[in-house]
Chains A and B, each alone.
Chain A
C-alpha cells in the first residue's frame, strides 16, 4: 500500500482503473444475482460491499493519488459503489418479499379450530326476564321494590282485604310457617304473591307511587308441566291522584308491546280479586296468530288454542279498603295494580314448553340463554 508521501506509482493503484472498477461492479452484480436466499445475499454483501471488498480497498487507494487525480478517481469509485449498493438493495427487497411470502404460507393455521377452553357461563332467564321488566318500567320513571319471601300474614293477606275467613285465603294454597308450638299459627307464610311488597311500600311512602315488584312466590302446587310450588311474579302498583282504569290498560299495553313486539295489546275481562275493585284479568293478543286463527279452522293456533287471546294474570283498581289499611286516603288517591307470572311470560316469550325445565336447574337450559333472555 502506498503512503501519502510515497511517490506516485501507477502499478500500485491499478485497482482504481476504470476497468478494474467495472469488473468489481460486474462481479458484485453477479454475486448478488446468484444469491437465492437472504443468507447468501448477506455473504455476497460482505464480499462486495464490506470493508475488505475490492471496491472498499480501491477506495483506500485514493489517498495515494496525486491531488489532481483524486477528484476524478473519487467520482468514479463512488459511482461504482453506489451502483453496487443499489443492485444489492433491489436484490434484498426481492428476496425479502419472497421470504415473507413463504413464511406467511408456512405459518398459516386452521382458523376453524375451536377455542373452547373456558366454560361458558350464562344467566338464568327468570333473572334476566325480571331485569327486563325492571328496565322497561324504570325507563318510565317507576322504581323496582322488593320485600321478604317469608312474610307476615298481615301483609300477605289482611292488608290486602283478605280477612281470616275470606274464601280467597283458603284458595291461595298457602305454605304456613310452623310456630314454636308446632302449630301453623305462627302468623307467617311463604308469600303467595308479591302484593305484600305493595302494602309495605304504601305503608312507608306517600303517593305518587309508581313501582314494580318482581320476585319469588310460593303455592302448595305439585310440580308439573305448568305448575311449580315456587315460581316468580311481577306486580305493578300505581297510586296517584286521578288514576283510572284507562291508565291500567295503557300500562298493560305498553308492557305487552315491550315484551312481545309492536301491535301486541291486551284486553280486560271482569274478574275478582279481594285487593282490587273493579278487578279484571288481562288477556294478551296471541303473539303467534295475532287473533287470525279465530273462526279460521284452516289455520289453527296451538299457542292460544285458536282463541286469539292468552290469559296473562290479574289486575284492577286498588280496593279503597286496601288503601285505607295502608294509610292512604281513597277519597284523594286512586290506584291500579296488576300481576302476572314470570314463568308464564317466559314460556310465551321464550317458547319454553315445560315448567320443569325452568325450575329444575339443568345447566343445559340456562346455557341456552346466554346473558339475556
Chain B
C-alpha cells in the first residue's frame, strides 16, 4: 500500500512539525512495515520550472518532422529559446521546462545543445519524462493560472509530496486504505483520528434490482447509480497524482474514481455500464464450464466454487476479483451502476489461486473489508462523479444482506500483563482497546460465569473427583488474579480480532513492545545434542579432517541423470517424488541419492578452475512413502487422534540421511617431496571406513556391480550383513556422459544405518616383548585380500596381536599365471610370558595352513 502523507493527514491531526520519516517510524512502532518513505521528486535534481510559451514557429525538417522553435518565459529577464517536438500546446500555455544543469528520473542530464539549427536552452517535459505518468504523446500542459513562470514545478505538481510505501501483513486488511493508515497513525501518535462522516440516503432497494442467491458467499451487496456522466471528462490532476503516487495508472474518470475511493476507504468498488446490463444483477456460484471474459481480455472457464455477479446474459464479473468485459465502462458510458459488496474471504482467496489472478480488490477482500463502509464508499464515488464528471446522482440505494454478525470476546483484564511480562493495568487495557475501535464493557455479573467456563476448559483432563477440587482452587485464584473480565466487541474493520490473544497484541503493541523487559527463561536440565546428532558432527568432521570439503546442494533432480548413470528401468532410485511446481522444468524431482548433486557440483568446480577435488555432502534423500493416498482432512480445533496422526504420517515420504563423497585429480599432491597420487576407488572406500570409524564399527567390504560405478572397481559396503552403501571408481561411460574428470570416484552411505557407538571397551595390554614375523602367501588372483586376511587371522589364533597387509605382488613369470602374492606383517605376543620364536612360528604355520585349506594358498618361496 502506497499513500501520500497529505492524503493520510486529511483524516488525522498530525502534529505540524512531524516529518514524513517520523510518521513512518511511528507506524513501524505499532506494527506496520514501512518499506520506504519517498517522493516522486527523488529522481529529479536541478532547475525544473514553470514556463509560459510566449510564441513559437513551426519549422518543417528534412526528415519530415515539424519541430517547434519556442520562446519560453521561465521567470527570467529574457525568454529562453527551446526546441520542442510536440504540438499539443498553444501560445500562452503554461508548461514545465527543465533547464540546463538538471537531471530527470533515470539519470537523464540536461544541457544546452544544438539541435535542428538552434541552440535549445532546455527542454519542455512530458508527463512520462517527469516520471509521473505514461503520457508521452505530448507535453504536460498545466491548468491556466495554476502557477506563474519561474515557479518551482516540483511544488506546483506536488512531486515533493512524501509517499509511504507500506507492506501490509495479512491480518491488517484495513491498512490497505488511507482510512486505516490514518487510524493507525492516530493510535501511534496519540492524536485524533477523523472517520468519514457522511449523510447517506435511505435504503429503498431502488438503485438497481439485485438478488443474492448465495448469502454466505456475499453477506452484503450494495449499489448506487449515477446518470448523465460526461464520458470525456478528464480525471482531475489531484486524483491522478494520488493514484500515481499509489502506483496506479490513470484510466478514465469512472475507473479512477472507484480506485481512488478504494484506496481511501478500503472498500473495492466496481462500475458497470448501465446501458450494457441486461436485467437484474444476481450473485451466485458459477456453474461448471461457464465462461467469462474478464477485463484483461482473458476467457476464464469458471469453477462451481467461483462466486460470480450475473445479469440475464450470465456471469458479468468474477466476484471480488475482476470485472467482465461485457459491462465494462467505455468512452461512451454515461450511466453507471456502482457495486460495493462484502464477499466471503476464503472464496475470493480460492478464486485468486484458481485463476492465478491477484488483484487490488481481491487482496482487500481476502484480508477482510469493513462491512459498514460500503455506504460511505458509494457516496464518495457518487459525489466525485457528480463533481468532476458532470453526472447526477440517481435516486435509490440498494442494500441486500446485513453483513457478518458481530461477536464479542471475553478478555481477563490481566491477560495482557500476563503474556507481555509487563505491568499493564485494566485502565490501560480498556483505553488501548477503545483506541483501535473496540467497544469494551465490564460486567461483574458476567464474571463468575465467564470465569467458570474458562476453568472448565482448563480442567478437562483428570478424574471427575479431582475436577471438583481443581475447579474450586483454580476459580479462587482466577477470581483473585484476573482483575476482572472485559467483554470486548471489535470494530467492524477488524475481522482479524477473534481471540483474547489478538486483543492482547493490540494492547501491547500500543503500549509499546520496547517496554517489554528482557528475561532469560530457565529451562529444566536437558540432555544436550542427541547421540545421533553428535555422531553426525563427528563423522562429518572426520571427513573434513581427511581432506574433504563439505558442500550443500539443492535436492532437486533431473531424471535424465539416471539415464546417464545407466540405471535399469526398475531401479529404486528412479522412483523419485515429483514436484507440482518445480523451480526448473528440467529438475522436477526430489533426489533419491546424493550423487547426482555431488557430481554436478564436481563438474561446476572443475569448470571454475579447481582440479584436485575431494567433496562431501550429508543430507536427506527422499523415498516414496508407505502410501500415496492423500491424508485425511484433519481439523485443528483440538489435538487429532493418534490414528489420524498415524494416517498423516503414513503419507510422509521416508527421508533417510545419506553421506556421500566424490573425488577427482590428485588426493595426495605432487610437490618438492616427489610424485603425487591420483584419487581413486581406494579413497572412496576409505571415506566410507572413515565414517564407520566415527561410529565405532567396521564395514565389511565386498566386490559389487552397481551403476553408476565401474563394474570392476565397485565395492559394496556392509554393516551386520546388510548393504549400507557403495564406493569405488565411476563407470567410464558415466564419466564421459556427465563430463566428469577421468577416474572420478565416489562413495555413498546410508548414514542412518549407523548408530552412535556404545562405550568403547578398554583393551588389556601385555608388556611382554612381541615376536614379529612376515608372511607372503601366493593365492589365485580372484581371492579377495580381505578373505585371505580373515583366514590368516583365524589360523594364527589368539597369540596374534595384529596383522597388516603390506605388499601385493604379481608376476606371471615368477609366481605363475593367475596368481598373486600377498605379504603380511604379523605381530605375536602372549599375555603371560615372553613368547619364543618357535611358538610364534608354529602360529604362523597354522595361519598358512588355514589359508591353504581355504584358498590353496602357498607360502611364497
Interface presence of B270 (CB below 8 A): no
Residue in B closest to A158 when the chains form the complex, CB atoms = B636
Q: A122–B367 contact, CB under 8 A?
A: no
Interface presence of A107 (CB below 8 A): no
Interface presence of B799 (CB below 8 A): no
Interface presence of B421 (CB below 8 A): yes
For the complex, give the distance between the alpha carbons of A68 and B166 in Å: 127
Q: Which of B70-78, B135-143, B374-382, B510-518 contacts A (4 or more CB under 8 A)?
A: B510-518
Residues in B146-167 with C-beta less than 8 Å from chain A: none
Q: A222–B583 contact, CB under 8 A?
A: yes
Q: Which of B418, B519, B578 contacts A250 (CB 8 A)?
A: B519
Q: B516–A203 contact, CB under 8 A?
A: no
Q: Mark A241-271, 1 if CB is under 8 A from B, else 0.
A: 0011111011101100000000001011111
Q: A177–B577 contact, CB under 8 A?
A: yes
Q: B636–A165 contact, CB under 8 A?
A: no
Q: B652–A150 contact, CB under 8 A?
A: yes
Interface presence of B58 (CB below 8 A): no
Q: Which of B96-104, B433-441, B526-534 contacts A (4 or more CB under 8 A)?
A: B526-534
Q: A249–B518 contact, CB under 8 A?
A: yes
Q: Which of A122, A159, A170, A363 contacts B636 (CB 8 A)?
A: A159
Q: Could you tell me the distance in whole angstroms from the C-beta of B401 to the nearest C-beta in chain A? A: 21
| List of A residues within 8 angstroms of B193 by Cβ | none
Q: A208–B513 contact, CB under 8 A?
A: no
Interface presence of A167 (CB below 8 A): yes
| List of B residues within 8 angstroms of A326 by Cβ | 639
Residue in B closest to A242 when the chains form the complex, CB atoms = B418
Q: A140–B346 contact, CB under 8 A?
A: no
Interface presence of B787 (CB below 8 A): no
Residue in B closest to A140 when the chains form the complex, CB atoms = B523
Check A270/B605 contact, CB under 8 A, given A149-B655, A243-B521, A367-B549. Answer: no
Q: Could you tell me the distance in whole angstroms from the C-beta of A32 to the nearest C-beta in chain B? A: 42
Q: A171–B170 contact, CB under 8 A?
A: yes
Q: B605–A363 contact, CB under 8 A?
A: yes
Q: Mark B542-568, 1 if CB is under 8 A from A, else 0.
A: 011111111111110000000000000
Interface presence of B653 (CB below 8 A): yes
Q: Which of B604, B614, B673 contacts A117 (CB 8 A)?
A: B673
Residues in B318-372 with C-beta less than 8 Å from chain A: 345-347, 349-350, 352-353, 366-367
Q: Which of B345, B454, B551, B622 contacts A361 (CB 8 A)?
A: B551
Q: Could you tell me the distance in whole angstroms from the C-beta of B655 to the nearest C-beta in chain A? A: 5
Check A361/B604 contact, CB under 8 A, given A123-B544, A267-B514, A272-B170. Answer: yes
Q: Mark A106-123, 1 if CB is under 8 A from B, else 0.
A: 000000011111111111
Which range holds the interface residue count of chain A? 35 or more
Residue in A closest to B358 when the chains form the complex, CB atoms = A170
For the complex, give the distance between the alpha carbons of A325 and B461 in Å: 16
Interface of A is mostly: mixed
Q: B350–A165 contact, CB under 8 A?
A: yes
Q: Which of B520, B578, B601 contacts A177 (CB 8 A)?
A: B578
Check A362/B605 contact, CB under 8 A, given A134-B529, A155-B648, A203-B645. Answer: yes
Q: Which of A155, A245, A253, A321 contacts B499 (CB 8 A)?
A: A321
Q: Which of B31, B367, B543, B631 contacts A121 (CB 8 A)?
A: B543
Check A246/B516 contact, CB under 8 A, given A119-B612, A167-B170, A277-B499. Answer: yes
Q: Which of A121, A127, A253, A361 contacts B614 (CB 8 A)?
A: A121
Interface presence of A175 (CB below 8 A): yes
Of A140, A167, A179, A254, most buried by chain B (CB within 10 Å of CB) is A167
Q: A127–B579 contact, CB under 8 A?
A: no
Q: Could you tell me the distance in whole angstroms from the C-beta of A327 to the nearest C-beta in chain B? A: 3
Interface presence of A340 (CB below 8 A): no
Interface presence of B668 (CB below 8 A): yes
| List of B residues within 8 angstroms of A178 by Cβ | 577-580
Check A271/B550 contact, CB under 8 A, given A245-B508, A325-B637. Answer: no
Q: A249–B516 contact, CB under 8 A?
A: yes
Of B418, B421, B601, B622, most buried by chain A (CB within 10 Å of CB) is B421
Q: Could you tell me the distance in whole angstroms from the C-beta of B140 to the nearest C-beta in chain A? A: 34
| List of B residues within 8 angstroms of A148 by Cβ | 620, 652-653, 655
Residues in A316-355 with C-beta less than 8 Å from chain B: 317, 319-321, 324-327, 329, 331-332, 334
Residue in B closest to A279 when the chains form the complex, CB atoms = B505
For the complex, give the distance between the alpha carbons of A141 and B525 in Å: 5
For the complex, give the distance between the alpha carbons of A148 and B31 in Å: 33
Interface presence of B706 (CB below 8 A): no
Interface presence of A31 (CB below 8 A): no
For the complex, give the distance between the alpha carbons of A292 and B451 in Å: 50
Interface presence of A4 (CB below 8 A): no
Q: A366–B30 contact, CB under 8 A?
A: no
| List of B residues within 8 angstroms of A183 by Cβ | 580
| List of A residues within 8 angstroms of B802 by Cβ | none
Q: B636–A325 contact, CB under 8 A?
A: yes
Q: A210–B523 contact, CB under 8 A?
A: yes
Q: Could you tell me the distance in whole angstroms from the C-beta of A345 to the nearest C-beta in chain B? A: 15
Q: A230–B554 contact, CB under 8 A?
A: yes
For the complex, give the distance between the alpha carbons of A190 and B554 in Å: 12
| List of B residues within 8 angstroms of A246 by Cβ | 420-422, 516-519
Q: Could you tell me the distance in whole angstroms from the C-beta of B1 to the nearest C-beta in chain A? A: 14
For the complex, give the distance between the alpha carbons of A176 and B513 in Å: 37
Check A271/B521 contact, CB under 8 A, given A279-B505, A331-B454, A366-B550. Answer: no
Q: Mark B394-431, 1 if CB is under 8 A from A, else 0.
A: 00000000000000000000000011111000000000
Interface presence of B524 (CB below 8 A): yes
Q: A244–B419 contact, CB under 8 A?
A: yes
| List of A residues within 8 angstroms of B52 by Cβ | none
| List of A residues within 8 angstroms of B667 by Cβ | 118-119
For the complex, give the distance between the alpha carbons of A187 and B644 in Å: 14
Residue in B closest to A278 when the chains form the complex, CB atoms = B505
Interface presence of B613 (CB below 8 A): yes
Of B367, B458, B521, B605, most buried by chain A (CB within 10 Å of CB) is B521
Residues in B479-516 with C-beta less than 8 Å from chain A: 499-502, 504-505, 508-509, 513-514, 516
Q: Could you tell me the distance in whole angstroms from the C-beta of B363 to the nearest C-beta in chain A? A: 8
For the complex, give the distance between the alpha carbons of A165 and B344 in Å: 11
Of B514, B518, B527, B540, most buried by chain A (CB within 10 Å of CB) is B518
A-B contact pairs, 11 of them (CB 8 A): A119-B547, A121-B545, A170-B352, A203-B645, A246-B519, A249-B516, A268-B514, A268-B516, A278-B419, A327-B638, A329-B460
A interface residues (Cβ-Cβ under 8 A, vs B): 113-124, 126-127, 131, 134, 138, 140-144, 146, 148-152, 154-155, 158-159, 161, 163-168, 170-171, 175-180, 183-188, 190, 203, 208, 210, 216, 220, 222, 229-230, 238, 240, 243-247, 249-251, 253-254, 265, 267-272, 274, 277-280, 317, 319-321, 324-327, 329, 331-332, 334, 359-364, 366-367, 371
Which 7 interchain pairs have the tightest Cβ spacing?
A270-B31, A244-B421, A327-B639, A246-B421, A165-B346, A278-B505, A331-B458
B interface residues (Cβ-Cβ under 8 A, vs A): 28-31, 33, 169-172, 345-347, 349-350, 352-353, 366-367, 418-422, 454, 457-458, 460-461, 499-502, 504-505, 508-509, 513-514, 516-530, 533, 537, 540-541, 543-555, 577-583, 590, 601, 604-605, 608, 610, 612-615, 618-620, 622, 628, 630-631, 634, 636-640, 645, 648-649, 651-653, 655, 667-669, 671-673, 676
Assuming A122-B544, A163-B346, what are 4 further A-B pairs, CB within 8 angstroms?
Answer: A119-B613, A134-B529, A167-B345, A272-B169
